[in-house]
Structures are given as C-alpha cells and as structure tokens.
Amino acid sequence: MKQAARAQLAQSINLTPQLLQSIRLLQLTSPQLEQELLQALALNPMLEQDESDEAGETDIDAGECQSDDAALEAAAWDELPEPMHGSTNPPGGSGADDDGIARIADGSSSDPRVRLLQELALEWDPDALPLAQWWLDHCDDRGYLEQPVRELIAQGARALAVAKAEMRLSRLRLLHGPWPGMAAADASECLRAQLRAQRSHLRATDTDEVATFQLAERILDGHIALLAANEVGALAKTVRADVATVERAIGLIRALSPSAVEEPADDTGGYIIPDVVVRFIGGDWRVALNGRAAPRVRVAAHCERALADAPGDQSVLRGLLDEARWLVRGVAMRNETLLRTAQVLVERQRGFLERGEEAIAPLTLREVADTIAMHESTVSRITTGKYIQTPRGTFELKRLFAVRLEGAAVSGAAVKAMVKRLIDAEPPHAPLADDTIAGLLERRGVRIARRTVAKYRDQLSIGPARSRQRPAPTPFAG
C-alpha cells in the first residue's frame, strides 16, 4: 500500500471558555444579566461601571463589534443546537397550524419538572413519558436524584410494571436530554453530562479541543476533590498532564452549571424589565435598547495603564484583565445581536404594531436568521426571555413570531384573533357554532377546519356555543 502525505487547510471554531461565556451571556434575561454584571463588578477590580451617560435608551453602533474575531465568535454560536423549546416545528406536533412559539408565550410553570416534562412531550413517545415523570418526581430542585440509582431503578420497575432496563434507559435519556445533567446521581455526573453535550458538537479534526474535553471528563470522574481544592499542580501530576492543559480543562468545567435545572424564561420576580423599547416617531418605528435593564460596564482604564507598566510577575492581574475584556466584549456582542434581531422583528410585524393581533404576519426563526446572517439557534437564544416595550404593551419577543397557517397567507395567531373577534361580536341569544365561524372565515379567504376553530377557542378559554347562549331579551309590553 502506498502512503502519501497531503496538506489540507481548514477553518474550525473551538468552544473555548470565552466562547462558552459569550453563549451564556446571549441567553441571559435582563435580571440575570444585571446579577451577572453586579457580581463581576464586585469580584473583578479591572471592571468599573460606565456612568459617563445617563442610563436610558441606547442605540448600538452596527460596526461596534464587527471585528474579524467577533464575527468568528458570533458564528460559533451556531455550532450549538437550537434549544428544543424554541423550535417552530417540534417533533410530534399536532399539525401544521400548531404554533409552538405561542405555547411558550402563554407562560411556564414554576416547577422545573413540569416545564421539562412539557418539553419532552414534544419529542418523546407518549408511552415513555410516565417513566420520565417518575424519575423527575424523585429529583430535588437542582435536578439531582434523592435516592441511589439502583434503588430507584428497582422501585420504578415495580411501580410502573416495566423492565429495569427500560427504567435505566429512561434515566440516561433524561441525563443526556434537552437539560443535560438532569436526574444525575451527583454533581460529577451532572457536569460530565454537560461536558458530553458540548463535546458532541466538536469536529473530529479538533484533536486538541477533544483532548481537553476528555481531560476535563477524567478530572470530574475521579479527581473532583483536587478540583474543589484548586490544587492545580497536584491535579496536573495526578492526571499526568502539563499545568496549562489542566487549566484549560478546568476552565471548561468552571463554565458549566452546577444544576441542570433551567430557569423559566418568564421568571422575572413578578415584574418585567423590557430589553428593547419601540416608539413611533416621525412616521417610523424606532428601536432602541433599554439602558436601564442592566448596568453598563467597561474595563478600568487606569488599572489597564498601571498594569502595563507594572514590574515583576503580574499574571494574576493580567488574567483578571483578560476576563474583564472578555466580559465587556461578550455583553457588547449580545446587545448588538439583540438590537439587530429586534429591528427585523419590528420591521416584519409593523402591521401588528399598527393594527393589532389580526395583522400579525407569519414569521419564523429561519426568516429572521437569514436576514441578520445568523443561525436559527442564535435567534432563538436572543429572543427567549427578552421583552419588548411597545405602544401595544410589553411582551416577549417570541410573540412576534407566528407560524403560517397551512394553505393560507396569514398566521395562526392572526386567525385566533379573528375567531375571538367574531365570538365577541356574536348575539348572546344566538352564539356562533364552530362550523359557522369556519364558514365566515372562509368568506374572507381563510380556510380552516372546524376542529381548528375549536382548538383556538379552547386556547382562548372560550366555551362551545351551547355554553355561551343567553336568553333573548324580553320585548317591552306597553
């Protein structure tokens, strides 16, 4: 066999700790971002709060973050899969006119087990859901199992009358499912599941990154005590790796979450802080970021100058300076992406802002992503849990997406609004039946089945015609 060497040039994107931080910042809601920045200001002396301008509505310069490195990092967001809860076409959906985004906008349960079970219902077979529910019922608020795995497998097999192998497989599906680390036996297993989820998106050619992930898994598997004690030197000696490689692996681990439980997007402590503000000025809709949503931070210039001229080993302070720069850059990229996405949403849904629900146009994640030259997953992350303030009220950005009704040029949300208006205008003594409403809509060019009208009516919490009927008014007898 003849062997030959061939040179090949390829571009790849590595999921570095800095990139993982950027992805996490992209997903944070306003209260979460505020907490993150306040904590960073308290812990990192290289950061300071930017109070040069009064907090208010701010525009982001479109070229502010468009360096080559920033563009490359933004592109790397697309390496991660789109979150299941943001999919506009979930597996197992009930039909082409079933608006997955509308289900999110209706709010979510405060119980993480309920939220995850609702998410699993979109992709798991109905027969597998009781097993998932059983495991979730035996998890604490952080997603960890409350009893040893073997005991729970035996108990679950008896309670649900299934084989132990099915119970074991169900837990593994949860562990490596949409919330990686859920139903973990301990913190080590939870973190390893998260690492495995991230590692699965690496290319086979990224040998250095794959090796770093493998080392991080080894550290979590048998050396978590040394990791907790921050004994980097002893850890490097134990795993037989150089200190720099171990530090990179530790950076990957520290970027993970100790809990697999995802906070609900609408969990804002009883009030909503809009991320974006929209106003109609001079005959046009103006979009701006709400500067009051989170403190503005910057790298402290005096610290940066002092460190540049400082003698001796200043590696610790230089590390803090790098962290400060990464944080400031990540927040700027997040804000730019949020503003660009909001501008597209407002442009496409101008009819909704001016005329109301019946004018909301069909719009998908892919259409917005194509417009701003990003991936659907990036658009999904930046719109989840972010709120927009408009003259029609404050609501989640997700509400501006709408699934096109099959066979029509309108969205399901618009048709639902039409159904509500027809019912609101019906005579109390002669309410409209579902097939009658379907017929009235057909005259306007919207063809939907009677069962679709019934589904929208149920979503609006409106009863059938017979329950809405009221006695006709008695004519006045003079």
pLDDT of residue 407: 54
Greater model confidence, 20 or 355: 355
Within 287-356, where are the H helices?
301-308, 315-348, 350-355
Residues 106 and 127 grouped into a single domain: yes
The verdict on residue 87 lying in a domain is no
The verdict on residue 55 lying in a domain is yes
Greater model confidence, 238 or 267: 238
Residues 115 and 249 grouped into a single domain: yes
DSSP 405-444: PTTSSSBHHHHHHHHHHHHHTS-TTSPPPHHHHHHHHHHT
The verdict on residue 461 lying in a domain is yes
The verdict on residue 477 lying in a domain is no
Q: Is the pLDDT of residue 287 over 50?
A: yes
Cβ–Cβ < 8 Å for 117, 84: no
If you average pLDDT over residues 122-146, what whole number do you get? Answer: 85
Q: Give the best-scoring range by mean pLDDT among 225-234, 278-287, 298-307, 436-445.
A: 278-287
Cβ–Cβ < 8 Å for 41, 297: yes
Residues 221 and 328 grouped into a single domain: no
**Domain boundary residue among 254, 283, 318?**
254
Q: Of 122-131, 162-171, 234-243, give the lowest mean pLDDT range.
A: 234-243
Greater model confidence, 309 or 43: 43
CA dist 107 and 99 (Å) reads 14
Residues 244 and 374 grouped into a single domain: no
pLDDT of residue 168: 93
Residues spanned by the domain of 200? 92-254
User: Confidence band (pLDDT; 50, 70, 90) for 268?
Assistant: very low
Q: Is the pLDDT of residue 167 over 90?
A: yes
Q: Give the best-scoring range by mean pLDDT among 122-131, 153-162, 248-257.
A: 153-162
CA dist 258 and 246 (Å) reads 20
Strand ranges for 57-183 from DSSP E: 57-58
Greater model confidence, 206 or 159: 159
CA dist 403 and 281 (Å) reads 29
If you average pLDDT over residues 9-13, what whole number do you get? Answer: 50
Q: Is the pLDDT of residue 106 over 80?
A: no
Cβ–Cβ < 8 Å for 167, 153: yes
The verdict on residue 261 lying in a domain is no
Residues 200 and 280 grouped into a single domain: no
**Domain boundary residue among 199, 220, 254?**
254
Q: What is the CATH number of the domain that holds 447?
A: 1.10.10.60
pLDDT of residue 124: 84
- Angle value at C-alpha 193, between 189 and 194, nearest 5 degrees: 120
The verdict on residue 205 lying in a domain is yes
Greater model confidence, 265 or 153: 153
Q: Which amino acid is at 9?
A: L
Residues 48 and 179 grouped into a single domain: no
- 182-231 pLDDT, tens digit per residue, is 999 888 888 888 888 887 766 666 677 777 787 888 888 777 777 777 77
Q: What are phi and psi of 391, to 5 degrees?
A: -60, -15
User: Confidence band (pLDDT; 50, 70, 90) for 286?
Assistant: very high
pLDDT of residue 49: 85
If you average pLDDT over residues 164-189, what whole number do you get? Answer: 90
User: Confidence band (pLDDT; 50, 70, 90) for 91?
Assistant: very low
Residues 135 and 198 grouped into a single domain: yes
> In whole numbers, what is the pLDDT of the chain averaged over residues?
76
pTM of the model: 0.50
CA dist 212 and 64 (Å) reads 32
Residues 103 and 229 grouped into a single domain: yes
The verdict on residue 112 lying in a domain is yes
Residues 183 and 291 grouped into a single domain: no
Residues 287 and 337 grouped into a single domain: yes
- 58-84 pLDDT, tens digit per residue, is 554 444 444 444 444 444 444 444 443
The verdict on residue 5 lying in a domain is no
Phi-psi map region of 435: left, alpha, beta (phi>0 left; psi -120 to 50 alpha): alpha
pLDDT of residue 153: 92
Q: Is the pLDDT of residue 466 over 70?
A: yes
Q: How many domains does the chain have?
A: 3
**Domain boundary residue among 254, 285, 310?**
254
Closest CA to 259 of 146, 174, 171, 182: 182
CA dist 54 and 374 (Å) reads 32
If you average pLDDT over residues 349-372, what whole number do you get? Answer: 85
Residues 206 and 323 grouped into a single domain: no
Residues 178 and 279 grouped into a single domain: no
Greater model confidence, 144 or 446: 144
